[in-house]
Amino acid sequence: MKAKHKSKRNAVKAETPAVAPAGPFLDQGEVAKRLGLQPRTVGNWAREQKLPAYRFGRLLRFKWDEVESALAANFRCSSHGPIIFNCETHEI
């Protein structure tokens, strides 16, 4: 009679909790909404390294304070077009 063996692989998989970004992380859509942009634009800017982003598998996540700093450093104010960054108050 064969002894039944439980697979260690399955046991480890069951004990390991799923890791999900939590806390200060925002997704692409939330950042786009705050900036008044399309989510695709936010993704493009992250790919072009205009915005700092963290990749969790296929998902992009952002920290809002880092997004604000990057915008202040990489974008200048203009009287033409939509206002993304307020030069007087340094707020989005």
Of the candidates 45, 20, 19, the one whose C-alpha atom is nearest the C-alpha of residue 31 is: 45
pLDDT digits (tens, 9 = 90+) for 36-56: 899 999 999 999 999 999 999
- CA atoms of 4 and 66, how far apart (whole Å): 53
Tell me, yes or no, if the pTM score tops 0.85: no
Q: Which CATH class is domain 21-92?
A: mainly alpha
What's the whole-number mean pLDDT along residues 19-48? 86
What's the whole-number mean pLDDT along residues 67-81? 76
The 10 Å Cβ neighbour count of residue 5 is 6
Say what percent of the chain tops pLDDT 90.
45
Most confident of 1-15, 38-52, 75-89: 38-52
Contact 2/11 with Cβ under 8 angstroms? no
Q: Where are the domains of the chain?
A: 21-92
- CA atoms of 35 and 11, how far apart (whole Å): 44
Q: 62 Cβ partners below 8 Å, 6+ apart? A: 25, 26, 27, 28, 30, 31, 42, 46, 51, 52, 53, 54
| pLDDT value, residue 73 | 85
